[in-house]
Structure 1
Amino acid sequence: MSMKIAHRTLDCFEVFMRAARPLTLTELARELDAPMSSCFAQVKALRERGYLYSLGSRRGFYPTQKMLAIMNTVARNDPIMEMFQPVLADLRDRTRETVVLGKRADVDRIVYLALQEGPQTIRFTGEVGAQVGLNTSAIGKAILGELDDDELRENIAQLDLKKVTRASITNPRDLFNAIKEGKRRGYQTTVGENEDDVMGIAACVTVGEEPFAIALAGPVQRMSELREEHAKKLLKACRQIAAMQSKVLDGLAAG
C-alpha cells in the first residue's frame, strides 16, 4: 500500500505538470484514475504539508513552490551533478547537440540523470528521469560495454530485448557483437534504435565504483557526418570527469 501511495503522490505532481493549470478534485481524480475518496485524502495530506493550495471550490488546487524550493536546495548540494554539469554544458556548446548523462536504473533500463538540450532548431529532446531500455540506448550500450565478455553475455541474457523501433537490436548475439564493436572503437552508438532518425554516441566514465555514461544525441544525418569529431569531444569530456572525481570523492569522504 505504501508503494502505491508513493506512486500516486508523484503521479499527482506529474498531472499538474502536464495540465499546466489548477485542477479540481474531480479532474485530479480522473487524471489519476483514482477513487474520489482516495484523491480527497491525498489532496488533504498535501495541503496540510504545504505542497498544494486551494483557489476555491470551483477553481481547484495547484502546487505551491515548496517542492521547487526543496529540490533546488537538493540540487545545489549534489556534488556529483556539480562535477558533471559544467562538463556537460561545455560539451553541448562545443558540439551544438543535446548532451545526456545516464546511469543504469535496473536490469533492463537506464535513467537520464541530467540533460542539456542543444541550441539547434532540430534536436533531440528528452527529460530528466526518463527511462530507456539498455539495448536501445547508446548510454545502455556504454554501461554494458564496461563488462568483460562473460559478464556481458550474462547481463544480455537477463535483458528484456524489447523492439522499440524497426532498428532496435533484439537478438542477444547481435547486441553482444554491437557492444564489442563499440568497445574496439572506443565509444558506443545507436542509429534509430530508440527513436527513429535519432543517433546517439556514448562513452562511459566510472566515478568511484559507479559507471555513468555521457551521450550526444541528434538527427542521424547530422550526427553521422560529424561522428568522429563529436566522439573525440565526448571522450575528452569523460577524461575531464575522470580527472576531477578524486577531489570530489575525497570531499564526500571527509564530509
Structure 2
Amino acid sequence: MLVKQAANVIEILEYFVQRKRPATLSEISDDLGWPRSSTFNLVGTLADKGYLYEPRSRGGYYPSPRWLTTAQSLADAEPLPEALLSLVREIVKETGETTSVCAPSGTHAVMIHVFESIQSIRYYAHVGSRVPIYASSAGRALLAQYAPHERLSIYKKIKFEHYTETTPVSIETLEEELRRAHERGYHQSHSEYIPDLAGVALPLPLPYRKLSIVVAGPVSRCLEKRAAIAEIMIKGLQRFSKELDIKPVEA
C-alpha cells in the first residue's frame, strides 16, 4: 500500500538531492508533475515545520539542515556497532566488491550501511536501496533468522514476481533454497532480481536485531568466486563474533 502524501515527501526530498539548488513552487510543480495546489500545500507544510527554507527572498525553496540533524539523531539512537563497520571495511578490502548491511523492511531487505567497491565496474547501491526479501541472498539471510511460522506470515504478503529466469517464485522453491543455504554455510544469488549480479550473504543475528551482510558484484567477476567470497566473510565474522556478541556463523 502506497500512502501518496508520505511518498510525496520522500519524492520532494529526492528531487532536491538530484537538483542541488533551490526551486520555486512552479518549478517543483512542473518538474514533478504535481498540481499547483498540492505543491503549495506540501511545500508550505514542510516550510512551516522547518524542513524547507528560502535561502534568498523569492529565490525558491531548499531543504534546511533540520533533515540532517533529525536523521543524525535517529542514527545515534540505534547505531551499528563499530565492530560491524570494521568488518564491512575489511571484507570490501579483501573481496574488492561492494558490501552492504541489510535489515528487514516488510517484504524487502533494505540497505542500512553500504561500502562501495572502487572498481569501475561494480554493484552500485546506496543506503535505503531495497531488494525483494525472497529474490536476493541478502533477503534470504534475513528470512533464515525467522521461525518457520514467522516466515509463513511474511510469505503471505509477498507477490512473487518473475524478475529473471533464476528468480524463486514459490514458497516451496524459497524454502528449498534456505535449506540448501544452511547446508552450504552461506546464501548466494545469481541474477535473481538484478541481471548480471551475483551475491553472497550471511545472517547477522545481533542481540535484538536481525541483519545480514552481503557482498555483490558483476557475474563475470563474482559468480565463480562465490565460495571464496563466502570463506572471506565467514572468517571475518568469526574474528568479530565476540565483539558483535553473536553465535558462531550459521546460514
TM range (shorter): 0.7 to 0.9
Give 1:231's aligned residue: 230
C-alpha distance in structure 1 between counterparts of 2:85 and 2:243, whole Å: 12
C-alpha distance in structure 2 between counterparts of 1:208 and 1:17, whole Å: 35
Deviates more, 1:33-42 or 1:142-151: 142-151
Give 1:206's aligned residue: 205
Change in Cα spacing, 1:183 to 1:154, as seen in structure 2 (3 Å) is: farther
Aligned ranges 1:106-125 → 2 under 5 Å: 106=106, 108-125=107-124
Tell me the secondary structure at the aligned position of residue 99 of structure 1.
strand
Deviates more, 1:48-57 or 1:229-238: 48-57
Give 1:130's aligned residue: 129
C-alpha distance in structure 2 between counterparts of 1:89 and 1:219, whole Å: 19
Runs of 5+ unmatched residues, structure 1: 248-255
Runs of 5+ unmatched residues, structure 2: 247-251
How far residue 187 of structure 1 moved from its aligned partner, in angstroms, is 0.5
Give 1:253's aligned residue: none
Does the CA contact (< 8 Å) of 1:214 and 1:238 recur in 2? Answer: no
Give 1:184's aligned residue: 183
C-alpha distance in structure 1 between counterparts of 2:121 and 2:114, whole Å: 16
CA deviation vs aligned residue, 1:134-171 (integer Å, no higher than 9, x gap): 12111111122234666656654553211222321213
How far residue 132 of structure 1 moved from its aligned partner, in angstroms, is 1.4
Change in Cα spacing, 1:51 to 1:146, as seen in structure 2 (3 Å) is: closer
Change in Cα spacing, 1:150 to 1:79, as seen in structure 2 (3 Å) is: closer
CA deviation vs aligned residue, 1:19-38 (integer Å, no higher than 9, x gap): 33322201212444443233
Choose between structure 1 and 2: higher helix proportion.
Answer: 1
Aligned ranges 1:230-249 → 2 under 5 Å: 230-246=229-245
Give 1:169's aligned residue: 168
Does the CA contact (< 8 Å) of 2:103 and 2:212 recur in 1? Answer: yes
Give 2:196's aligned residue: 197
Tell me the TM-score normalized by structure 1.
0.83
Give 2:45's aligned residue: 45
Of all paired residues, the percent bearing the same amino acid is 26
Does the CA contact (< 8 Å) of 1:207 and 1:242 recur in 2? Answer: no
Change in Cα spacing, 1:237 to 1:32, as seen in structure 2 (3 Å) is: farther
Give 2:249's aligned residue: none
CA deviation vs aligned residue, 1:107-133 (integer Å, no higher than 9, x gap): x21111111101111110112112211
C-alpha distance in structure 2 between counterparts of 1:240 and 1:205, whole Å: 13
Tell me the TM-score normalized by structure 2.
0.84
C-alpha distance in structure 1 between counterparts of 2:45 and 2:72, whole Å: 22
Does the CA contact (< 8 Å) of 2:162 and 2:169 recur in 1? Answer: yes
In the alignment, residue 217 of structure 1 is paired with which amino acid? Answer: A
How far residue 76 of structure 1 moved from its aligned partner, in angstroms, is 4.9
C-alpha distance in structure 1 between counterparts of 2:83 and 2:41, whole Å: 41
Q: How many residues align?
A: 243
Give 2:92's aligned residue: 92
C-alpha distance in structure 2 between counterparts of 1:241 and 1:205, whole Å: 11
How far residue 240 of structure 1 moved from its aligned partner, in angstroms, is 4.4
Deviates more, 1:171-180 or 1:184-193: 171-180
